[in-house]
Structure 1
Amino acid sequence: MSAQSDRYTIAVTRYFEAWNAPDAQARAKAVADAWTPDGSYTDPLADAGGHEEITAVITAAREQFPGFAFRLTGAVDGHHDTARFTWELVSEAGGTPSGGGSTPVAGSDVVTLDGDGRIRTVLGFLDRVPAGA
């Protein structure tokens, strides 16, 4: 794996650490570790800028889907300062790495990174969303 590939993988790993942080304090720290201070997150349901707003978006998603976790579903692909990847929200009830349960939400994200590998922007696309979400 090249140093550039490692950079993308590390950034995406931090991204999922933020989405899966178990409590508010851990979530705020994980967002600060993953995103630049002026970073942003945009998908069809949210448009957030800065650590506080991004943390609020993640908290709202975690509250809407308790007992679920976000998981990478393929390889991280990237070039220059941009990476893309696919993910799904899985039930943790199955106790397996893939969640072993339902996957109500799935999508793909494109992130841009700064020179230190922190996220500047996330553009999210939702491929599967439950009715009423």
Structure 2
Amino acid sequence: MTDLNAVANTYITLWNERAPQKRRALLETNWTEDAVYVDPLMRGDGRDGVDALIAGVQTRFPDFRFRLIGQANGYGDNLRFCWGLGPDGADCPIKGTDFVELRDGRIRRIMGFLDQVPEGA
């Protein structure tokens, strides 16, 4: 059985990893080769596309970090969790909920929803 909170924490670690080689290693270990990430603002196909999205978010918000809000929950090969993006030591101005589909314990598809986005972000 997959540890849903471990998957969510590994996902958050990936989005916070600034070293390209370490980020790529996390993708190769924890995401399927044909993984897809999609939210209302962006889409990434395959590990290369997801990696490019993460690098873009890090460039746009250089002083922000992702953090898990609450616990992940789900069933079977599906889970959901909430996250925040903001500076350390402060409330996150950007918040969202992600729905994850796993295949063989690895992330196959992410459908992201933005729950809170300040104007101009």
TM-score (norm 2): 0.92
What is aligned with 1:126? 114
- Equivalent residue number for residue 105 of structure 1: 94
Pick from 9, 17, 26: which aligns with 1:21?
A: 17
Same amino acid, percent of matched pairs? 39
Q: Secondary structure at the match of 2:70?
A: coil
Describe the SS at the equivalent of 1:45. Answer: coil
> Structure 1: 5+ residue runs without aligned partners?
93-99
- Structure with larger Rg: 1
Q: CA RMSD in A?
A: 1.3
Q: Which has the higher strand share?
A: 2
How many Å separate the matches in 2 of 1:84 and 1:106? 14
Among residues 57, 62, 65, which one is paired with 1:61 in the alignment? 57
TM-score where L is the length of structure 1: 0.85
The partner residue of 1:80 within 76, 79, 95 is: 76
Runs of 4+ with >4 A deviation: none
Deviation at 1:88, TM superposition (A): 0.2
Inter-partner Cα distance in structure 1 for 2:26 and 2:52:
13
Residue 119 of structure 1 and its aligned partner are, at CA, apart by 0.2
Segments of 5+ residues of structure 2 without an aligned counterpart are: none
| Number of residue equivalences | 121
Which residue does the alignment assign to 1:95?
none
